[in-house]
Structure 1
Amino acid sequence: MKLSFSKNGQAMPEKTVELPQSAFEKIEGTEVYWLGNASILINSRGTIILIDPILDSFDMPLLIDMPIKSSEIPKVDALLISHIDNDHLSFETLNNIKAVTQEFHAPAHVADVMIEEGFETQEHAVGNVFKVNDITIKTTPTRHNWQNQMPKYQYREWKEEEYVGYWLETPDGSIWLPSDSQLLQSHLEMPQPDMILFDFSDNDWHITYEGAIKEANTYPEADLLCIHWGSIDAATWNTFNGNPADLVNDVVNPKRVHALNVGGSLTLKRKQQN
């Protein structure tokens, strides 16, 4: 694990790796790319899934460079949005890839907002199952409706079902994005995933660090691809300032902790017990 540190001591990736056009071509297995913060690209045998992509106009200062210009993305089979927060949903990025994206998927309310912005979006309740080519995707529950506690956002009721995670069954194994969420009991009762897109933010509206360790050790064989760290310049903001090196001391089988460079990838490997 190679890390760098900001001038304020925030752990961050060593560098950004430029994402090549070959990342979108047909391949034999499944590669999972970290695009910074919570943005993920999955290439499963040529099927391209983007999750919460933000490659343009972050409204917060960044520690990283983007691995690709959104306008250079050649194809997207399905784009998944987990929730409406501005570090997960960028309409500038979506507009730049709209012409090459086959499908848009989002939970309640988020889908309505996306439709209003001109994106034909399929809405999914928690527990819904849908397919993208040979990938089966199921939405999983989260609890992240923090806006209800903030007077600025109390112009509506923010419902728990407007935030989802995603479970993806690919030909090469399972990938689970619990997404931004408090730890739920159901998060400890999932099938054994092969890879977790792992938020370990020590924040009360995220999983908390203690909760992250509990989740990780419930699934001791799953690869942990760290997200939601080292990207936004916020050394005093626990939502974004986790250090993946801490996980090595606390999780079972620490070699499965992966702190990628931005633009780096991890090969999905099916675990034998599955």
Structure 2
Amino acid sequence: MKRKLLKFLNRMVLSIVIVVAAIALIVVLFVQFSPQFGGKASKEAIESYKNSKNYKDGVFKNTKDVKLDMSLKDMGKALMGFFKSQPNTKPEHDLPSTKIDSLNIANYKGDTRLVWFGHSTFLLQTQGKTILIDPMLSSVPAPHPTLGSKRFSQELPITIEQLPKIDAVLISHDHYDHLDYESIKALKDKVGHFYMPLGVGAHLLEWKVDKNKITELDWWEETTFNDFKFVCTPAQHFSGRGLSDRAKTLWSSWVIQSKNDNIFFSGDSGYADHFKTIGEKYGPFDFAMIECGQYNEMWPDIHMFPEETVQAGLDVNAKKVMPIHWGAFKLAMHTWTDPVERFIKASKKEKINVIVPKIGDLIYINSLEENEGYKFWFEGLD
């Protein structure tokens, strides 16, 4: 009897080992061969990164020490939060969005305007040019659809296929909710040029984007595009798409300047004094899109709480502020409306002009009246 039990236990242990080994092999092969994970920088590129003040010991660094690793206890809490059913972390029905026609975009020559796709993706049209910012237009921000939470709205204001020529694309960093393989693959032949922080170009090269259409910048570096100035400015965050590439590429915010407008895009960032420095060097801004969502006390240094977003808007000296990084995906455990509700409450105390458009609305930044953005379109949506 004991021998039979021992044999059974041995077989069970062997079966578990085989299953675990098989899963591990599948993961390794998936990471190794799936194009979603992007590419690695060449030796020549890595050598050039050593000239950056933000690059040390083979990785990029924040200006100050930032906690990136959670304790096992916090990691357990985070996993439980994602798998446990929690009220109102996602809307029960598709979020409404306004449709925009391809010809409306292709033929537009008017005043500066933006279209929000939810989260941090924007289409900016100004001075006859069309610019995409952090084009994540897929349904799941993950290397595989089964590994992430689906977009809150099935339909976008316009599909990638319907988009006309894009003059430039700005990318803030390489996380899946900001840099999407499927989006880049569909866009690459209709985009004039791509701009991104150091190292991110390796992913685009892996995805067959022409190297002559890629420009990488370090923090505080400026480049010109037609009559525009793009400035790669700091953010407090991190990067990585795989199991072993954390901080191998840089992360950033962006300043977009033209003869008519001065615009700030925060990318992903925890609150720090870089916002004030950016405001002093490049402000005041006519319009600022600032991260407000996917926060948690377990990662306070890499994402802002809504009250910090308000302060960041004051720091950069923005005339109008739009809270972003919400309204599309569940990447944290707060309710899906918590970011915008807390942001509006805090902004009223500071008396800043807030814009809260619906996904797909045309945002004409020079004709927005004070508090026009308080439409509360999200109220009453389950």
Alpha-carbon distance, 1:146 to partner: 6.4
Cα distance change, pair 220–137 in 1 and its aligned pair in 2 (3 A): closer
Alpha-carbon distance, 1:25 to partner: 2.5
Q: Does 1:227 align with 2:324?
A: yes
Q: Does 1:86 align with 2:184?
A: no
Contact 1:10 1:230 (C-alpha < 8 Å) held by counterparts = no
Alpha-carbon distance, 1:185 to partner: 0.8
Post-superposition Cα deviations, 1:21-51, rounded to whole Å, max 9, x if no partner, equal 2123232311011111110110002201101
Alpha-carbon distance, 1:253 to partner: 2.5
Mind listing any 5+ residue stretches in structure 1 that lack a counterpart? Answer: 1-6
Q: List structure 1 segments (4+ residues) > 4 angstroms apart after TM superposition.
A: 10-14
Contact 2:239 2:251 (C-alpha < 8 Å) held by counterparts = no
The alignment partner of 1:197 has SS state of: strand
Q: Does 1:198 align with 2:298?
A: no
Alpha-carbon distance, 1:129 to partner: 1.0
Letter in 1 for 2:315: T
Partner residue in 2 for 1:19? 100
Q: Does 1:45 align with 2:134?
A: no
Question: Which whole-Å CA distance do the structure 1 matches of 2:90 and 2:339 have between them?
Answer: 5
The alignment partner of 2:166 has SS state of: coil
Question: Which whole-Å CA distance do the structure 2 matches of 1:157 and 1:9 have between them?
Answer: 31
Give the structure with the larger helix fraction.
Answer: 2
Partner residue in 1 for 2:307? 210
Q: Does 1:122 align with 2:219?
A: no
Question: Which whole-Å CA distance do the structure 1 matches of 2:106 and 2:233 have between them?
Answer: 27
Question: Which whole-Å CA distance do the structure 2 matches of 1:146 and 1:114 have between them?
Answer: 15
Cα distance change, pair 242–103 in 1 and its aligned pair in 2 (3 A): farther
Provide the TM-score with structure 2 as the length reference: 0.62
Partner residue in 1 for 2:271? 183
Greater relative contact order (Cα 8 A, min sep 6): structure 1 or 2? 1
Partner residue in 2 for 1:9? 88
Larger Rg: 2
Alpha-carbon distance, 1:211 to partner: 1.9
Cα distance change, pair 220–246 in 1 and its aligned pair in 2 (3 A): farther
Q: How does 1:245-256 map to 2 (within 5 A)?
A: 245-251=341-347, 252-254=350-352, 256=353
Give the structure with the larger strand fraction.
Answer: 1
Cα distance change, pair 221–168 in 1 and its aligned pair in 2 (3 A): closer
Letter in 2 for 1:16: S
Question: Which whole-Å CA distance do the structure 1 matches of 2:239 and 2:221 have between them?
Answer: 23
Mind listing any 5+ residue stretches in structure 2 that lack a counterpart? Answer: 1-85, 143-148, 369-382
Give % identity.
Answer: 20
Q: How does 1:253-264 map to 2 (within 5 A)?
A: 253-254=351-352, 256-264=353-361
Q: Does 1:63 align with 2:152?
A: yes
Partner residue in 1 for 2:187? 97
Contact 1:18 1:263 (C-alpha < 8 Å) held by counterparts = yes
Question: Which whole-Å CA distance do the structure 1 matches of 2:357 and 2:367 have between them?
Answer: 20
* RMSD, aligned α-carbons: 2.7
Letter in 1 for 2:152: L
1:144 counterpart (230, 237, 242): 237
Partner residue in 1 for 2:257? 169
Post-superposition Cα deviations, 1:51-77, rounded to whole Å, max 9, x if no partner, equal 111222424212113111101111100
The alignment partner of 2:98 has SS state of: coil
Question: Which whole-Å CA distance do the structure 2 matches of 1:132 and 1:25 have between them?
Answer: 20
Provide the TM-score with structure 1 as the length reference: 0.84
Question: Which whole-Å CA distance do the structure 2 matches of 1:146 and 1:98 have between them?
Answer: 22
Partner residue in 2 for 1:4? none
The alignment partner of 2:173 has SS state of: coil
